[in-house]
Structure formats: C-alpha cells, structure tokens
Amino acid sequence: MFNGIVSIRNKNGEEKVKIERTGGASSPIWSICWNPSRDEHNDILAVADWGQKLSFYQLSGKQIGKDRMLNFDPCCVSYFTKGEYILLGGSDKQVSLFTKDGVRLGTIGEQSSWVWTCKVKPDSNYVAVGCQDGTISFYQLIFSTVHGLYKDRYAYRDNMTDVIVQHLITEQKVRIKGRELVKKIAIYKNRLAIQMPEKILIYELFSDDSSDMYYRVKEKIVKKFECNLLVVCSAHIILCQEKRLQCLSFSGIKEREWLMESLIRYIKVIGGPPGREGLLVGLKNGQILKIFVDNVFAIVLLKQSTAVRCLDMSASRNKLAVVDENDTCLVYDIHTKELLFQEPNANSVAWNAQCEDMLCFSGGGYLNIKASNFPVHQQKLQGFVVGYNGSKIFCLHIFSMSAVEVPQSAPMYQYLERKMFKEAYQIACLGVTDTDWKELAMEALEGLEFETAKKAFTRVRDLRYLELISSIEERKKHGENNNELFLADVYAYQGKFHEAAKLYKKSGHENLALDMYSDLRMFDYAKDFLGSGDPKDTKMLIKKQADWAKNINEPKAAVEMYLSAGEHMKAIEISGDHGWVDMLIEIARKLDKAEREPLSKCAFYFKKLDNPGYAAETYLKVGDLKALIHLHVETHRWEEAFALTEKHPEFKDDVYVPYAQWLAENDRFEEAQKAFHKAGRQSEAVRVLEQLTHNAVVESRFNDAAYYYWMLSMQCLDIAQENEQQKTEMLQKFHHFQHLAEVYHVYHSIQRYTEEPFSFHLPETLFNISRFLLHSLTKETPLGISKVNTLFALAKQSKALGAYKLARHAYDKLQGLQIPARFQKSIELGSLTIRSKPFHDSEELVPLCYRCSTNNPLLNNLGNVCINCRQPFVFSASSYEVLHLVEFYLEDGITDEEAVALIDLEAPRLNKRANKWQEMMSDNAQSLRLDDDTDITEDDDPFTAKLSFEQGGSEFVPVVVNRAVLQSMSRRDVLIKRWPKPLRWQYYRSLLPDASITMCPSCFQMFHSEDYELLVLQHNCCPFCRRRIDESNQ
C-alpha cells in the first residue's frame, strides 16, 4: 500500500498477515511479486518500494535478509518462471537482472523513459518491457556456459554468482558461494580462479589429497579486467585479450606479455614445474605455439592452413591433435611435423591421459575412439569431448558435464588381430570386461606370449591357467624350448584334445597323448598311442580303465581289471567295501604269503564283515600271531586265545587284560579279578572296581556298593602283599574300604526301609542298624548315604521300642537338616508326639560291654566303643547286636602259628569246666556251640584276670595275653580272623556260653549262628562277601 504496509489476505478478503515496514509512508510500495519456484521451502514475497529498496518476506511476515538498496524508484518487479532470477525496472529507465536473493547481475536493456512493467515469457528467456512513453521492447537473454576443466576436476557457474567444482571420478561436488556475477572460471591442479566484475579470486585446495574438495581463498586481485579467455597456473594468471596474452602474478602485477600474429582461438595449460608451466596456444591463422610462463619467447610447433578450434597433446608430448574450422581432426608428430592421419566430423578432441596411442573426438552426434593407425570405433554420444582418462571420457552436453565409461574392447581386439599382445594388454588395463580379459589371455597364451597371458589370467583369477604358465616357465628355465610341446599343453587345457594329441605326436611325445586320453577315459583313442606295446604302458592303461570303471559304478569290472593290472590293494578295497567275501578269500588264497599288506587288508575286511574264520586263516598264512590273538579277543573267542597264550606267553597281557574287562562288563567280577591278577594289572583291577563302586552308589545299589568296596579292600591287600613300596598306602586303603563296605552294607537296609512300603527286618534289628550307622558317621558322610534317612529310621524305631530319649535326640537332629517333602509331615508329627513321652530310654535296649560289664548309653559320643574301657564292640553282621566277644592281642615274640598251637594244646581243666562249649568246624564256618546249661565260674580263668584295666583312663588298653594264658584257653572259645600277610591275625574270646557265633571264613564277619544259617539258606552265599557255599567243594 501507499503507506508502506503489506497486507496479505485470503480469497474472501480477510487479512491474515500485516507487514509494517520501517520506512512507513515515506516508502510507498509500488510493486510486489510472489516467487513461483516449487523448490523453495517457504513462500517468498518480493517487495519493491519508492524508498528505493528491494525486500523479501516469508508468508508469515518474517523478513528474509536485509533490504537491498536500488538507487532508483522501482516501478515493476517480476520473477522468471522457475524463480531463479528477478526483473526490476523503474525510474532509472532500464531493465535490470537480479538473482533471486537480490544481487544485481547486469542490465538487460536501456530505455528513453521510465519502465513501468516487465515480464518474462513462461518457460523461456524472452523478456517484454513496457515504458511510460508507450514503447514496448522485446529481448532474448542468452546465458552462456562459464566453466573450466583440468583432468578430473570440472568447475562451472551456477545461478550466475556461484561456482560448483565437480570431481568427475568420485562425483563429489562443492559449491563456492558468491554475491557477484561470475564472468570467467579457470582451474589447474590445486588452483581455482574466479573472475568477477571488479576482481579475481584465486582459491587453493586445503590439502594435497587427490580427492580433497575443500577450497580456500589464497589471493585476491582487486582490479577490473576485460578478457576473452582466463587461464590459471600454479603462481600466475593468464589473460587472453584478442591477440594479446598477459601473464600476471597472484598479486596482480603484470610479469610478461605475448603478442600474437592472429586472434587466439584456443589456449590450454599442458603442465610443467610450478612457475614454469607450458601453454598450448592455437591461432585463427592455423599457427600452433607453445609458451612457457617464465619465457617471453613463444615456440612455434607447426602451422596449418586452417584455423584452430581445439588442441590437445599426447601424454608423452610426442603427438599433437588439432580440430580445425572444417571439423577435421588432424594428428601430427611434433618432432617431424608430419601429419600422421586425419579424421572428419570432429568438433573437439582429447588424448587418453594413460595411453599414448589412443585419442577420442566427438562430432555429428558420435563419439569416435581411435587407437594407433587402426580404423575408428564409433558410438552415439551427444556433446563435446573435453577429457579422456583411462576408460572414462568427459563430455560436456549443453550445461552439464558427465563422465562416460567406455569399454576399450574394440581397440583391444584391433591389437589382438595383429598379434600385438603387449599393446592390447595396455588397452585392456584402461577398462574392458572380464570376457575381454579372458579372450586376451587365451590369445596371448596361444601366441606363446606367456608374460602377457599371465597378467591377463591374474586379472580374471584363473588359477588353472596360471599353474600351466608357471609350469611352462619352469620348464623353460631348465632348458626346454619346444614351442610345439608348449602349445600342445595349451590346447589340452583348452579342451582341444585332438589338436593337442597331434602336436604331442609331432613333437615326439606320444606318451603324453596316451596320458591325456587315459585321464579323459577316452581309452579307444589312447590305444592308438600305445606304441610298441610296452607292458608298463599297457598295465597303466588297464589300471586307469579300472579306475574309470570304479568311478562309473561298475565295481566288478573294476576288480577284474585291477587284478589283471596287479593292483591287488584296490581290488581288495572295492571287494571289501561291497562285502564280497567270496572274492576276498579267493584273492587272499591266491596271494603269496610274502605279500603282507594286501593279506592284512583282506583280514581287516574279513573282521569287518564278521567272518573271523577267514580272518584267522589269513593271519595264519601271514604268520601274524599278535593280530590273530587280537582277532580272538575282539570276537570273544577266549578258548582259542588262551590256547595261543599257552604256546606264546609273551601275549599274556594282550589276552587277559581285555578278558578281565569283558568279565567285568558282564558282571563276573571275581573272575575279572583273577584275570587282572593273571595279567599283573592290579592298578587296572582297582580302577575298574572303583568305577563300578561309584556307579553302584550313584544308582543307589548300596548292597552292590558294599560288595565292591569289600572286593576293593581285598585287592588293596593283595597289592600290599606284592608291592613293598605301596604297602603303607594300600593298607590304609584296605581299612578305609573295609569301613565303607560295612557302612554301605548297613545303609542298604536303611534305604530299603525308607523307600519300600514293607520292611524285612525286625524293629530291634533296624534300631541296632540305625545306631551302628549313626556311630559310624561321626567324621564324614560317604557319597549316597542320607543322614535324614538314618535319623528318620532311628527315630521311628527308638520311639517304637521305648528309647524315647534317643528318639527325641534324632528328631532334634532332623530339624537341622533338609527334609524331603514325603517325610515332612511324619517327622513334624513325631517331633510333637515324642514330647509326651518320658525323657529316658528302656533299660532292655542298653548295650553291655562284655569286658568291663558297663551299661553304655544308646547315644555314644565315642562311637562303637565302650565309654568306660574303650574296648571296641564286636557286632553281628546281620542283627548288629553286640556280640559277647572280646578281642585280645598276643604278647611280643609270639607268632600266629605258635599262638594257634598253644590254644590247640588245650590244657586240662577242672570238672566244673567239663561241660562247656563245643567247637564245630566246617569249610563254610567256624562255630561255638553250647552242650549244656551248667553255670561256669571263671575265678580260675587266667584270661579273666587279663580283662582288668585301670579305671578312669581315657586311652584304650588292649587285652594282651602270654603263652600261659593262651595255653589255658579252649580252642572252642576262640575265634580267629586269619588275615593274609602283611596283616596280623585277629583273636577273639567268647565270654558267654549261652550263644552260638559263626564267622565267615572269607570276609571274617561275625553272625549269630541261627541268623547266618538262615541267610545262607536264603541267598546261597554269605550276605556280606557273597562267598557261595559250593565254592568249598570245588
């Protein structure tokens, strides 16, 4: 509005935004225009007022940037169709072009009166202008391309004020923003020069990295220059003004000037040391010069009759390519000035920077690639070629620069046709397909150019042909130079077998043709090369034919061929793998016994195919007794093995050790023990038994565990007897295993009581067993034994028998243990109900010490010994009642044999001793039996006097007897544990005449005679050591 306010309203006229500007009424608004660009993020409004300002606002009313001063009264403002430029006209009588940001670029046209309106024709560069005097003008704007190129860096103008630098290889771009019109651009290595109306800016790369795209200002020349062309070097700016070239330093000082004979049409920097670069200059009169920036004299390279349009020099600077005004590309030798060739229809040309003999030129909508003197290869491409590097061609089409990847296949094949393999390889390195590389490799290989072939095969990673080349090179080093033979190998690798065979024959190597056809299974062709019928060759051919028959699944034919070729091992392997036992035994019987390896192989397959008889026959033929014994062992033919061992004792270990292991695996442990003993493998016997014992405990087979521990203890005793060095250790283990055997034997009853619904033991027996076990577990609890089960059984039986104090103690102990859920309720109830019982034990249950006649408490902190005299109790191994036995020891100097002899003397006794115990001896047991019930007095018994001890002592004082006491004893009153050496025998004296006691002669466990007889009848063996009653008869 005239008051300087901008009002933005909707289509209904309602005001949505009001923009109040700083000038107010002094800056009446004369023209406004919306930016039509769809690329802008916000709607932008351009406002021109007669305060001579141009402003920009967003739709929200927020100003964009600062006001732009115009120095005239604007009457009209208008955007281009895409919003990239603005037209302004007014009191200055001209139409000016501005960027969309308000930067003035220049004048479009001057008029004789004020410009009141200006508009752009949609989607074009035509501008119509209307003036106050009624005139209308029409202009066409031409936006020329301002750009520069050096190798793979291309710089061009964008939006008239910005410069974009593009890396043509990596496609990276960087924008250098400016606020003035960009007139000229030049780029060279790490330098970039930008000419603006009043200055020239020189930029440099931030680093030496070839991919770096960060430019910074190096120098600024604040001068106005008029020039046709601009070139930048490492330290100079070159200005071209018609016929004149000026060299300026970066500070703007003119250092050198060259004046040409004609107009300068083309100029290019061709490189050189910093500060001494060379320039290639083409003139309108056809003259081509080379100028060095540090030299005032120009060098004429050559002169042609037509004007120069484009120039380029080859990589080695030996050749010069020129495009003249007749669109002809001419190539010269710089040194001889000779015209090498010329091609029509060219508007630009470029040499390949990596290959001396390759150039490309464009024209007529085609890209032309020429290698050396070969015909031109064409493909369609619009634009101008400005660079050629490797397989990339840089092409400018209208305003865009692009890098086109061009396969170099055509020129490579041109070189291959002429057998120029090295040149073809150089072309291929610029960029060809894998197929082209393979073709090059094959052609070079057939041409025996091995170096080029090796490089090409390396490119395609073909190890097979690389190995061939390597072998040929190695043969050449050793003096072999038969090219026909090398070529034959090449043909064989390529699959040209007949050609290869012909060359092998021609070069006198028919055997190689034979090998080749044999390997190919082409046996009919191979027979043509057998020559004079050498038996070795014939045999080899048959062998290979057999291999082939085997591979195509014709095993019977293969076996027959192998046998005819003498390859017995392979025939045996095929027969064995197919299970042909008859064929195997036929082969084995035909073989000589000296051929040990094939015979052994036959025996191996006989074993594998479960034919031990044939295997034994084969081993006997070879005479391999050890293998024969192993065969008998593996097949469990023990009788044959034992028979061989008797004849050859050196194989005893090979038979008895596996026999023992087999017995142990089949639960025949006593026999296994004997077998191990025969083999002298005591440690292995112990190891096997330990494993069996552990398994029995883990599987809760505690009765078996007790038996195994007893066997282990006896095994340890045998080792201690045989090995003096291990005597102490083995005796310790003997006592430990004996203890564990007793513990697990007892716990078996407890476990059955807690796990099974019915018990086979009387309550008194379970009570005694529980007490015995509890007193035996004072130090540590062995694996698998549950204290909960033990205390639970003890609590239940104690309560049932009236031992309430002991039952209460057991229940209290259970409270501190982790109780299984199935016992929880029963134990809690028992703990409560026991409180209602008197706090004492029944006197009938209290054990009596038969040495000192002391009543011992049911719960004994000392364990299974008397609390008064410390005499160890002797228990029945079935009911675990305390037996009326007292252990005594022999006085020093008395041997076991002497002691037995003295006891057997049995000195005469008084009449009151006449009716007493009667000893019963048998092979199964040793018993004391009472003949009548007459009371016996022992006042005159010397042994009774030895039972006395010093009261109040804490140490155990054993009963020691001398010869007189021994002689006074009756054989019927004494039980002897006759342990093998190194243990001493143990002696026990019966103190009560009213009970019969039986001792097992194997494990020396004591029983009440009635209990022992009943158990033997039930199990047909000793319940502890499982000694069978029929063993004594064997």
**pLDDT per position as a tens digit, 772-792:** 888 888 778 888 888 888 888
What mean pLDDT, rounded, does the chain reach?
Answer: 82
> Which structural domains are found in the chain, ordered by start?
5-140 (2.130.10.10), 885-1019 (no CATH)
d(CA 389, CA 351): 8
Distance from C-alpha of 420 to C-alpha of 146, rounded to nearest angstrom: 43
Reference 970, options 940, 990, 946; nearest CA is 990
Spell out the residues 6+ positions from residue 707 whose beta carbon is closer than 8 angstroms to its own. 741, 1024, 1025, 1026
CA angle 516, 522, 525 (to 5 degrees): 85
Closest listed residue to residue 795, CA positions, set 769, 755, 843, 827: 827
H-assigned helices in 648-701: 652-665, 669-679, 682-698
927 CB-near residues (< 8 Å, 6+ apart) = 919, 920, 921, 996, 997, 998, 1009
How far apart are the C-alpha atoms of 738 and 746, rounded to whole Å? Answer: 12
**What's the CA gap between 312 and 334, in Å, rounded?**
12
Largest CA distance in the chain: 178
* Pair 345, 376: CB distance under 8 Å: no
Rounded Cα distance between 217 and 239, Å, is 20
SS3 1010: helix
Q: Of 195-204, 261-270, 275-284, 925-934, which gets the smallest average pLDDT?
A: 925-934
Measured CA to CA, the distance from residue 859 to residue 842 in angstroms comes to 13
Average pLDDT on 132-161 reads 89
Instruction: For residue 235, count other CB atoms closer than 10 A to its CB.
Output: 18
730: nearest Cα among 711, 713, 743? 713
Nearest to 975 by CA among 964, 959, 989: 989
pLDDT of residue 576: 65
**pLDDT at 612 exceeding the cut of 80:** no
Q: Where does the pLDDT of residue 916 fall: very low under 50, low under 70, confident under 90, or very high at 90 and above?
A: very low
As a whole number, mean pLDDT of residues 51-67 equals 89
User: What is the pLDDT at residue 938?
Assistant: 43
Q: Output 815-821 pairs: Cβ under 8 A, ≥24 positions apart.
A: 817/787, 817/788, 817/791, 818/788, 819/788, 820/788
The pLDDT score that the predictor gives to residue 565 is 52
Per-residue pLDDT, averaged over 453-470, amounts to 86
Provide the token pair at 179.
């606020």
Q: Say if residue 322's pLDDT is above 90.
A: yes
Residue 156: beta bridge partners? 147, 164
Q: What is the pLDDT of residue 910?
A: 45
Distance of alpha carbon 391 from alpha carbon 704, whole angstroms: 88
- Mean pLDDT for 491-511 is 72
* Cα–Cα distances in angstroms (integers) from residue 789 to residues 756, 771, 786, 861, 964, in the given order: 12, 12, 5, 20, 49
In which band, very low, low, confident or very high, does the pLDDT at 930 lie, cut at 50, 70 and 90? very low
What's the token pair of residue 811?
């229940």
User: How much is the pTM?
Assistant: 0.48
pLDDT score of 843 more than 90: no
- Which tokens sit at 610? 């479960």
Kindly state the average pLDDT of the residues 356-369.
89
pLDDT of residue 934: 39
Two tokens at 729?
């250790």
pLDDT band at 1034 (very low <50, low <70, confident <90, very high): very low
3-state SS, residue 49: strand
**Torsion on CA atoms 384, 389, 390, 394, rounded to nearest 10:** -30
Half-sphere exposure of 749 (CA within 13 A, CB side): 26
pLDDT at 666: 77
Residue 569: pLDDT band (50, 70, 90) is low
3-state DSSP call for residue 537?
helix
Give the per-residue pLDDT at 193.
95
Burial of 897 (0-12, 13-18, 19+ CB in 10 A): exposed
Residue 554 has pLDDT above 50, yes or no: yes
Bigger pLDDT: 273 or 493? 273
> H or E stretch including 300?
strand 299-303
Handedness of CA 278, 281, 286, 287 (dihedral sign): negative
Please determine, for residue 392, whether its predicted confidence score (pLDDT) is greater than 90.
no
